[in-house]
Structure 1
Amino acid sequence: MARGTAAAAVNLLAWWVLLFVLYLVLISAVSALELMVGAGFALLGAVTAEAVRRAEHPRPRTGRRLAVAAAAFPGTLLRETGQLALAVLRTLLRRGDPGVLVTIRTAPEVDAALAAALLSASPGACVIDIRRAAAGPPEDGAPDTADDATTGTAKRGEAARTPAAGHDLTAHLLRPAASAVERALGGRRLT
């Protein structure tokens, strides 16, 4: 607890100093009133920055799949830049297709935001929506009823569902073929 409070205090002080120095650099005349106003607004900005840091504390899940996808990115970038140039040329000549809209289900261990950033950073793909994957239909060999967690007995009329697997990324692609980045992420296309 003390470590978190000390870190927040250091963060708050750093933001206050940074914002106050920025204010001093940007004003033309320095009077006592302007120093108090600048110090007050710098404190307000520092408190706001600390609140945003606490609210937006990201914990990305990185793993082997994202590392492989990142390694495949430079080649994909070069290949898709050429594909984009050809797509623009075909569109200018009125012989182009608009691309394809697909839904890609990511593997459970892949962070959806990082996967979307990697896919969208290449010229051949643009992720336009991210949704948590819904539970799927019963798997082959699964019972037709779901077990009640409290009693261990099956509930009548409720189908057994497989747990959700990752996220569904809706993406616009220049080409229907999967890129090296998409293949490295280990997901599968739903559409």
Structure 2
Amino acid sequence: MGSEDGTDQVTSSILGARPRSSSLGDEEALGGGLPANWTLEEFQKRVRGILDSYLLSGEVEEAVRSFQDFAVREASGFLDEVAVCALRTALEQTDQQRSRIAELLRRLHEENILDQASLARGFAKLVCTWEDLVVDCGSKSSVYLVDMLLSCMRGNCVVRAFLMRLPEGLVMAVLREGSEDEDKTELQEVARKLQQFKRGIQ
């Protein structure tokens, strides 16, 4: 696994060191933020069950109602962990299924079930483990993660300033692996600014 330097070190200090990833995300981040009556496995199973039903049916409003009920009854105060599970699941899906999960995240934000802070924390936890995700899910997982982030930004679910918190290594990996033309210019500008910042602190 590559070492961090320059901007990557600054980003790590903001987001935290990379803990070990589990099948649905960052084990320490997930396990440490759960209600006392939940185990990590139970939480993952509950969220994954709602997501699987949604991906099969395509009924976004039903999924929104299910997550709203889950949030009110069982997961209030731990919604960033829902975001982690949803994003980690999306990385394992087809393009169409990832688009559906992105749509669901936007709807959850519109309905005030997931706020910007919860989504940002969810993305941050996966950003911290992006190199592990590449090992677990393949090199394209970095592209998928950033694509999901940009989709949420276009839906005003995450502030665009979050791009400048991305590790330079992640941005460069996405540019190498290929991204949509509409995203490439923006990511190239982010890479330029990150490199400029790194030169400024050397």
TM-score (norm 1): 0.25
- Structure with more helix by fraction: 2
User: Whose Rg is larger?
Assistant: 1
TM-score (norm 2): 0.24
